[in-house]
Amino acid sequence: MTFRRIVIVLVLVGGFAYLTTLNFSPLRQRFGGHGPIAHLSLTEAHAAPEYTPDELNNMAVYKRALPSVVNVTSASLAYNFFLQPVPQQDQGSGFILDKQGHILTNNHVIAGGQQIEVTLSNKRRYKAQVIARDPSHDLALLQIDAPDLVPATLAQTSRNLVVGQKVYAIGNPFGLNGTMTTGIISAIRSIHEPRGQLIENAIQTDAAINPGNSGGPLLNSHGEVIGINTLIATNPNENVEQSAGIGFAIPIDTAKAVVGDIKRYGHVRRPSLGITDLSIGPDLAQQMGLAADYGVLIQQVYPGGAAARAGLRGGNQIAYMGNWQLYLGGDLIVGLDNQRIANTQDIADFMNRHQVGDSVIVTYYRGRHKATVKLTLQEAHERSGSA
C-alpha cells in the first residue's frame, strides 16, 4: 500500500513538471507565467533633449546660488514630565553674506538653541556663533570659521518688485538639502507672524515653502536674493505644517537695514516715528471726511517718541469698522522729506533708508489745515504695528 502511494505521488509530480516545462499555455496563464513577447518595442529619443530657455535659466540660478545656501541646525535640551533631559533639534536654512563667514537666517530658527551648527552645500559642518538677533524682524546673524566661502549676491533693492515676477526658493525643507522650488510673486503686503512680529512689505509667493525653508533665500531670475523665506500659510484643517501655496519672505531691504545697524552699532537700532498708524485710501478718506484721499492716519502717539516730541497728535474718537477698532481725529501724514507717503509700506521703505537720529520733515493734515514739522527719528521698540 505504501509503495502504491509513492508511485502515485511520483506520477503526479512528474506530470506537473512535464506540463509546465512544455509551456502548456492554459496552465501557465493560470499560474501567472508568460512566454517570450516578440512584438514589444520601446520608443527612445534619438538625441539628448534640448532644454528650453526657461529651464536653462532655472539651472543657472541653482548653480549660482546653491554654494551660498546653508543648513542651520539648532540643538537644545528640554525636560519631560519626570525632569529627564530630552534632546531637541530644529532645522532651517540660511545664506552666506561674506567670506568672513557671516550668515543670515531667521531668528525663530535658532531661538532657544544652545548649540548652533551650519552645514555647507559641500556637506562640511561648522559650529556657528550667534553675532546678533533681531526678534522684531525675525532675523539673526551667525558666523562660522570656514575657508573658500561663496557669498550670495543680494539684489540692489526690493522696492521695485512686481506681482507676477518669477522667483526661486532654495533651502532644506524637511531636511532635504539643496531643494529648489519656483513660483511667482503673488502679492506685496504687510503681515503679522504667529509670534506677533509685523513684516512690512512681505513678499508673498506661491513657490513651495515648507518647514526647513525658513531663513533661506528667495531669489529673482538673476539669482539675486530679494527676500528671506520666513512664513507659510497652512491649511487649518490639516495637522501637518506644509506648503499651501502661500509663503512669505522678509524683503531684502529690511535685512540690509538690520545688518547695517549690527555693523554700525553692534545691535539693531531701527528708526521710528513712534506711532501706530492706519493706511488711508479713497473710500476710508471719504467716510472719515479727511482732507486727502491717501496717507497714513496716526492712531496713537507713544509718549516720549519722535512724533510726540514734535507735537503730532493721535486719534481721540473711537470708531468701529466691523469688529475692527480704530481712532479718528489724528493727524494725517502725507509726506516725509518731500516724498509722498500713501500708506504704511511707504513709511517702512523710508525707515529702511534712514538711521536713528536723522532729522526729517513731516508733511501732515490736521483737519483741513496742511502743515509741516521737523522731527528726529528715535529708536523703534518692539511694538506690533508701530512705525
| Residue-range domain boundaries for the chain | 67-143, 166-265, 271-379
Q: Three-state SS for 317?
A: strand
Half-sphere exposure of 128 (CA within 13 A, CB side): 31
Query: Which residues are identified as catalytic?
Result: 108, 138, 214
67-143 classified as CATH 3.40.1440.60: no
Q: Three-state SS for 65?
A: helix
What are 25's three cell numbers? Answer: 499555455
Half-sphere exposure of 6 (CA within 13 A, CB side): 3
CB 142 within 8 A of CB 89: no
Query: CA of 85: how far to CAs of 80, 81, 167, in Å?
Result: 7, 10, 42
Element (H, E) at 301: strand 295-301
Q: Specify the pLDDT at position 132.
A: 93
Q: Specify the pLDDT at position 384.
A: 45
A 10 A CB-CB count for 332 gives 24
Q: Specify the pLDDT at position 237.
A: 56
Distance CA 352, CA 253 (A): 7
CB 169 within 8 A of CB 229: yes
Q: Specify the pLDDT at position 47.
A: 77
256 Rama class: left (phi>0) / alpha (psi -120 to 50) / beta? alpha
When computed from its CA atoms, the radius of gyration of the chain, rounded to whole angstroms, is 31
Report which of 347, 379, 357, 348 is spatially closest to residue 269, judged by C-alpha positions: 379
The partner residues of 9 in beta bridges, in order of sequence, read none
Cβ burial of 367 (10 Å; 0-12, 13-18, 19+) is exposed
Q: Three-state SS for 61?
A: helix
Distance CA 279, CA 245 (A): 27
Distance CA 328, CA 319 (A): 7
Largest CA-CA distance found in the chain, in angstroms, rounded = 123
Distance CA 67, CA 149 (A): 8
What contacts 310, CB < 8 A, 6 or more positions away?
362, 373, 374, 375
Q: Three-state SS for 112?
A: coil
Angle at the Cα of 337 from the Cα atoms of 333 and 341, rounded to 5 degrees? 40
Please say whether the dihedral angle defined by the alpha carbons of residues 324, 326, 332 and 333, taken in this order, is positive or negative.
negative
166-265: CATH topology: Thrombin, subunit H (2.40.10)
Count H helices, E strands: the chain?
Answer: 8, 22
What are 21's three cell numbers? Answer: 516545462
Report which of 258, 319, 314, 270 is spatially closest to residue 104, judged by C-alpha positions: 258
Confidence (pTM): 0.73
Distance CA 207, CA 225 (A): 15
Distance CA 123, CA 264 (A): 33
pLDDT under 50: residue ranges of the chain: 24-25, 27-28, 31, 383-385
Q: Three-state SS for 248?
A: strand
Cβ burial of 322 (10 Å; 0-12, 13-18, 19+) is exposed
The partner residues of 336 in beta bridges, in order of sequence, read 339, 362
A 10 A CB-CB count for 167 gives 26
- Domain 271-379, architecture per CATH: Roll (2.30)
Q: What are phi and psi of 42, to 5 degrees?
A: -110, 145
Fold agreement between 67-143 and 166-265:
yes
